Amino acid sequence: MDPLQILIVEDDENDVILLQKELRAGGLVFGSRVVDTHSDFVRALNDSVPDLIIADFQLPRFDALTALELSQHKARRTPFIIFTGCLDEATAVLCMKLGAWDYVLKQNPVRLVACIRSALERRRLVEEREQAIREGEQRFRQLADVAPVLIWMSDATGSLQYFNKAWLAFRGRSEPEEKNSGWIEGVHPADRSRCEQTLQAKISTLQPCQIEFRLRRHDGSYRWILCNGTPYYSGKDRFSGYIGSGIDVTDVKEAESARGHDHELTNALIESLPWPAYAKDSSGRFVAVNQAASLLFGRSRDAFSGRTNSQLGLDTEFATLEAREMEVLQSGAPTIGQTEGKVPDDRFTISPWGVTKDGVSGIVAMDASKPASGLSSQSRHDINNLVAIIRMYAEYLGEQPELGERILSKVRQIATASEKLSSLISALAEPGEHGRTKAP
């Protein structure tokens, strides 16, 4: 083990000799440097950081409190022990509050070595704990940087201080640029205040938080980010901040929005039909039922919402119909109902609804036994008005290049769907061959 390097603040040569003799008698191996002025003390700290500082409390040209203050800036982790001839209790308490590790009266020098050994052991434990924390932080950063999600960490005030590589790549910025309030500048202005208020409200109660907001990506576009944060603690029950992750949910929200528009369009069509008609999603749950279908199956329209045949007690009525619905979901092709069918199973024409590259979102079924002329001119007029509005807005949005290709592709899909719906309305209003309605 290398000798301890001790900085001694003392002006009395005899006291220095006494001090060194006591240290050697206690079995310590050391080298020492003695100073007694402010400038010499600063010079010694600049030359090298000592392992231990031992200072007399009051010197003619210097004092322990000044030395203690200087050491907090230049050698904060170095144990500082006051070795003095006289020190009242109040002053001793003040010294400890200011950062002194311990104090020993010169009248009781045998206590000095034990005090030093205790201080050095405390420092070793502190260094080991700090090393463990550094290693833990390094492992955390390594894991966070390979994670495919946006990871962030705040301090106890809620100020974000860390971002993983995925976050920085998403934003196209460096960590210093994002830290503190840098990241909030990338949040959409309409979401910014809500984000800050939510985070501060959760910090005040130390509760997990979930925030959804739009964040500007490196290409300038805003993406919806769903962030979940949870408090973390360092030491024993000491709140240190929040750690959280964020995922880009823009595609999910766009898909939900598209399904919502699709549902609205389907509902509008089914509502206006005078013959029984309904729509189901791919799991077999009703999403729309008109009044005629409600009367046919003997259930209120509200009872159908989000329920399956079994939940409604309609297994018998849908015995064959359910099998035909599954066939349409799997094939994506419609099945034509029989005009003269005796039961609903035979009469309903079933068509796919919401066909995408991922499959069919659901089905629409209409009673084929009812003549197409049953769709009144007023109903056709009302539906065509809805379609015209949809088409008009789709054409308008399609002329806005600043929306970006992703959004424009969705707009083109809306325009195409409106054209198909217009054709469907015309087909439903005309008699088909052999007295059947045309399949949608």
pLDDT tens-digit series, residues 38-57: 888 889 888 888 988 888 88
How far apart CA 186 and CA 296 sit, in angstroms, is 55
How long is the chain?
Answer: 440
CATH topology of domain 4-129: Rossmann fold (3.40.50)
**pLDDT for position 343:** 65
Instruction: Determine what percent of the chain falls in helix, strand and coil, rounding each to the nearest 5.
Output: 50, 25, 25
Name the residue with higher pLDDT: 74 or 7: 7
- Assign domain 147-248 to a CATH class: alpha beta
173 pLDDT above the threshold of 90: yes
How far apart CA 334 and CA 382 sit, in angstroms, is 26
Residue 436 pLDDT level (bands cut at 50, 70, 90) = very low
Among 77-91, 177-191, 233-247, 375-389, which is the least confidently predicted range? 375-389
What is the rounded average pLDDT of the residues 344-363?
76
Residue 177 pLDDT level (bands cut at 50, 70, 90) = very high
| Count of CB atoms situated within 10 Å of the CB of 156 | 14
Residue whose entry in the numeric block shows the structure tokens 């005078």? 274
32 pLDDT above the threshold of 60: yes
Residue 265 pLDDT level (bands cut at 50, 70, 90) = low
Dump pLDDT digits (tens) for 68-126.
888 887 787 888 888 877 766 777 777 777 778 887 887 777 788 888 888 888 888 87
**pLDDT for position 163:** 92
- Given a contact cutoff of 8 angstroms between Cβ atoms, the answer to whether 249 and 224 are in contact is yes
Dump pLDDT digits (tens) for 217-252.
999 999 999 989 888 887 666 788 888 889 998 877
Cα dist from 104 to 65, 69, 95, whole Å? 15, 19, 12
Residue 435 pLDDT level (bands cut at 50, 70, 90) = very low
CA atoms within 13 A on the CB side of 227: 25
Residue 262 pLDDT level (bands cut at 50, 70, 90) = low
**pLDDT for position 171:** 94
- Given a contact cutoff of 8 angstroms between Cβ atoms, the answer to whether 210 and 228 are in contact is yes
- Given a contact cutoff of 8 angstroms between Cβ atoms, the answer to whether 115 and 96 are in contact is no
| Count of CB atoms situated within 10 Å of the CB of 107 | 9
**pLDDT for position 16:** 86
Residue 172 pLDDT level (bands cut at 50, 70, 90) = very high
How far apart CA 368 and CA 381 sit, in angstroms, is 22
Dump pLDDT digits (tens) for 266-322.
677 777 777 888 888 888 889 889 888 888 888 888 888 888 988 888 887 787 788
Please tell me what DSSP assigns to residue 431.
B
Domain boundaries, the chain: 4-129, 147-248, 253-435
Please tell me what DSSP assigns to residue 274.
S
Equal CATH topology for 4-129 and 253-435: no
How far apart CA 240 and CA 48 sit, in angstroms, is 33
**Rg of the chain (C-alpha set):** 39
List helix spans (H) across 77-174: 89-98, 110-146, 165-171
How far apart CA 26 and CA 44 sit, in angstroms, is 25
Greatest alpha-carbon span in the chain? 125
| Count of CB atoms situated within 10 Å of the CB of 391 | 17
CATH numeric code, 253-435: 3.30.450.20
Percentage above 90 pLDDT, the chain? 10
Cα dist from 80 to 9, 76, 86, whole Å? 11, 9, 17
Dump pLDDT digits (tens) for 139-162.
777 777 777 889 998 888 888 889
